[in-house]
Amino acid sequence: MTIASFEGRTPVIGTGTYVHPSADVFGAVTIGEGCWIGPGARIRGDYGTILIGDHCSVEDNCVIHARPGEQTTLGNWVTVGHGAIIHSPKMIHDYVIVGMGAVVSDWATLGEWAVVGEGAVVRQGQEIPAEHVAVGVPARVLEKTVNQEYKAEWMHFKQTYVDLARRYPAGWVSEE
C-alpha cells in the first residue's frame, strides 16, 4: 500500500475507511468516511484533485485520476466496480453504480442513482441522467429507469462494502 504525498499534495483518509495493502493513493486525494478501497486500486491526485465521498467502494484494480488542475468528484455511496476507470468526469453524484470494466471519461456527469453497465464507455462530456441506465460502447441511455426495488438491492451491496471496510483492519492477516 502506498499512501503518499506528491509535491506537497497529501491524501486525507476518512475515519473508518479501509485502503487495501496493494492499493495506491497519492497526491491531492480526499476519501470520506467508511469507504472501501480494494486491492490494486490506483487513486492519483498527482496533478489534479480527487474527492471521494462517504461510504464509497472503489473495488479491485480501479483507476481514478483527474486532469491537470481539474477535480474528479464522487458523491456518497458510489460504487466503482472491479477494473473500472474514472478519468476526470465533471461529477459523479450520490448512489451511482459504475459497472465492472466500465470507463467514465473526461467531463462526463452521472446523475444520482445513475447506473453505468459493465464494460460501457461514457464519452467525454456525456451526461447520464439521474436514475437512468447506460450501456454499450459508446454508452447509450436506456429508457428504463432505476426503481425502488433495484435501489434497495443495491443499498444491500453498498452496505456490504462499508461493512468490509470495518472488518478488514482486524481480519486481514498476511501469510508471508
> What CATH number corresponds to the domain at position 52?
2.160.10.10
Q: Does residue 155 belong to any structural domain of this protein?
A: yes
Q: Note the pTM of the prediction, 2 decimals.
A: 0.94
Q: Which domain holds residue 10?
A: 2-171
Contacts by 2-5, CB closer than 8 A, 24 or more apart: 2/26
Model confidence at 173, pLDDT cuts 50, 70, 90, reads low
Q: What is the mean pLDDT of residues 95-101?
A: 98
Asked if 33 and 14 touch (Cβ cutoff 8 Å), the reply is yes
Q: Is residue 147 part of a domain?
A: yes
Number of domain units in the chain: 1
| Average pLDDT in the chain | 95
